[in-house]
Structure formats: structure tokens, C-alpha cells
Amino acid sequence: MEIGLYIGLAAILTYLVWGFVIAFQVVLAMSGSKWAYQWIKSRYTYKVFYTEVIVFYPMILLGYLFLEWIPYYLFGVKKLSVFDLDHLFNRLYKD
């Protein structure tokens, strides 16, 4: 019973950590960061990136909330990037 608990905890922590990395890069790419474009294109094909976006969609929403929405509405940041994954995929994989 105890080993199952550790495996479950490891799976949850892995999801959270890797989801944070993906969410951070996707939010950076949505805001127009050239470095984030290069990072995504060098590591992912369209199919793999699409799968990771689907799997980590809740983490991407949380990342957008904390990195874009809260600073814009609470702290008066001038620019709010639009949450548009279709536009992001078109910019990354337009060929």
C-alpha cells in the first residue's frame, strides 16, 4: 500500500513540475518571446507539442492567470497578451 502512495505522489509532482515548465514556455510564446519560440521549435514537433498542450492545459491556464492576468488587472501592467493557442500554433508551425 505504501509503495502505491509514493508512486502516486511522484506522478503528481512530476505533472506539476513539468506542467510548470510547459506553461511558462507557452505563456512566454503567447506574449511573443523569440527565445520561447526557439525553445519550443527545437524540442517539439507539432504533434508532440499539441499533445503536451492538451495534457497540461490546466497548468497553462494557471500560468496565464499568474503571469498575465493578475499582473494586468491588479498591478496595472500595460500589455495583456491574448490567450489564443490557435494563433500560437500558427506562428510556430505555419509550414
CA dist., res. 28 & res. 87, Å (int): 14
Contact present, 91 and 37 (Cβ < 8 Å): yes
Average pLDDT over residues 53-69: 93
Query: What is the sign of the dihedral through the CA atoms of 9, 10, 11 and 17?
Result: positive
Contact present, 8 and 47 (Cβ < 8 Å): no
pTM to 2 decimal places:
0.84
What pLDDT shows up at residue 77?
Answer: 79
Per residue in 10-23, pLDDT (tens digit) is 999 999 999 999 99
Amino acid residing at 30: M
Could you report how far apart the first and last alpha carbons of the chain are, in Å? 50
Report domain extents, the chain. 2-92
